[in-house]
Amino acid sequence: MSYESTLAYIHQVSWRGQKPGLSRTRDLLSALGSPERQLRFVHIAGTNGKGSTAACLASILQAAGYRVGLYTSPFLNRFNERVQVNGVPISDGDLEQVVDEIRPHADAMADAPTEFELITALGFLYFARQKCDIVVLEVGLGGELDSTNVIPAPECAVITALGMDHVRELGPTLADIAQAKAGIIKPGTTVVSYGGAPEADEVIAAKCRETGCPLIAAPFQSLTVRSTDLEGCRFDFDGLQDLTIPLLGAYQPKNAAVAVTAARVLTQRGWQITDEAIRRGLASVSWPGRFELLSRSPMLILDGSHNPHGMRATVDSLRAVFPGEKFVFLLSVMADKDYPAMLDLLAPLAKEFFTVTANTPRALDAQVLAEACRARGVPATACGAIPQGLAAALEAGRGGVTVALGTLYFSGDVRQAFLAGQFGQ
């Protein structure tokens, strides 16, 4: 198959939807020779910060000399970004080859796999072929019934910051959400938790007691943030002085601290990770689309915040990096998210909103979003497409700061529109 037909196969309508259960993934992997059993994993679940934490830990492990698989979702610009080895996305040729191998087995299944299950099998098969020493594995949704949870007990299970998201699928309370995320905890692993939400923390602690797993809360009491600016963040943590990450955002030192805590756990389990590897790994981490400075002239920040929990962190970061500033926002949200709560957080910082409808059926109509912005006393203009919205927002924000906010899919389209346009001075 060509690259285009390979992607068309992965995204075809017959795989659509979410069907709980792990049986299809297990059946497909079994037909492929159970590649997941040739691998070792760090499994990462949570509401926000999963991707950043995964990227930090993968970078640390690579700096320590290991061959590291990284499985994340969604992607910014190209599908291949979801499956990486040592920071390099799977090539088009390898993607075609692996899908060609999977296709007859998937087509033969009476209970067809979902798209995400297919991609999970693809990742595991590729990582095994690439002889990865360890795979940093981000769940897609929840944990317990997520297709990534077919793996044996991971070296470390990480649960990042928890908040109210995907309540329709995971349950209406934080305890329900924590229960789903805690499903990645298996006997034989060590658990690292971001913590900070007592209702959720108790659920995770109970699961650890039930499975006999040690539980380590990231020791944020030893985290001292020295600076957060357009160069990134400098901080001290757990005996390490003056660590740097090139990731913007006031929340990133905590995500990095969780990754360092997980690296310490791996060291206790026999992995060779020096303090110098931690330092070099953090200094070289790359994770686009999360409070990313896309351009200095014009000043454009790109962020993938897509729920109130994440938006609160983004607002805190904007206040920290640009104290006293008012912003022009280019905004797109999903209709099934609590967008009124997100707008309540953004409105006090907003000079003006420009809204667009992201290229996904789940997106809220730009006109509806603009009306909701105006209802909060802020001028808002609905735009027909992302390039037009970006151009209008940058013009309105000339001399100040423009912030593009929405899902990571939207962030990828904004990036492409910016790079294709003549917006710089």
pLDDT tens column, 198-222: 999 999 999 999 999 999 999 999 9
What integer best gives the mean pLDDT of the chain?
A: 92
Tell me what percent of the residues of the chain surpass a pLDDT of 90. Answer: 74
Tell me what percent of the residues of the chain surpass a pLDDT of 70. Answer: 95
Question: Per-residue DSSP letters for 60-107?
Answer: HHHHTT--EEEE-SS-SS-GGGGEEETTEEPPHHHHHHHHHHHHHHHH
Q: Give the per-residue pLDDT at 291.
A: 87
Asked if residues 42 and 137 have their Cβ atoms less than 8 Å apart, the reply is yes
pLDDT tier at 74, thresholds 50, 70, 90: confident
Average pLDDT on 87-93 reads: 97
Q: Give the per-residue pLDDT at 170.
A: 52
pLDDT tens column, 117-132: 999 999 999 999 999 9
Query: What are the Cα distances from residue 144, in Å, to 41, 178, 403?
Result: 16, 10, 35
pLDDT tens column, 16-45: 666 678 999 999 999 999 999 999 999 999
Quick one: tokens of 298? 């014009």
Q: Give the per-residue pLDDT at 167.
A: 46
Statement: residue 110 has pLDDT above 80? yes
Average pLDDT on 124-141 reads: 96
Statement: residue 88 has pLDDT above 60? yes
Average pLDDT on 338-357 reads: 95
Statement: residue 328 has pLDDT above 90? yes
Burial 184-222 (b: 16+ CB within 10 A, else e): bbbeebbbbbbbebeebbebbbebbeebebebbbbebee
Question: For residue 333, what are the contacts with CB-CB under 8 A and spacing of at least 6?
Answer: 306, 339, 342, 363, 364, 369, 406, 407
Asked if residues 345 and 315 have their Cβ atoms less than 8 Å apart, the reply is yes
Max alpha carbon distance in the chain (Å)? 60
Statement: residue 102 has pLDDT above 60? yes
Average pLDDT on 372-380 reads: 97
- For the range 89-97, what are the long-range contacts, defined as Cβ-Cβ under 8 Å and sequence gap of 24 or more? 90/126, 92/3, 92/6, 94/126, 95/3, 95/6, 95/122, 96/1, 96/2, 96/3, 96/6
Q: Give the per-residue pLDDT at 166.
A: 44
Q: Give the per-residue pLDDT at 72.
A: 96
Average pLDDT on 399-424 reads: 85
Statement: residue 332 has pLDDT above 80? yes
Tell me, what DSSP letter sits at residue 364? P
Q: Give the per-residue pLDDT at 425.
A: 42
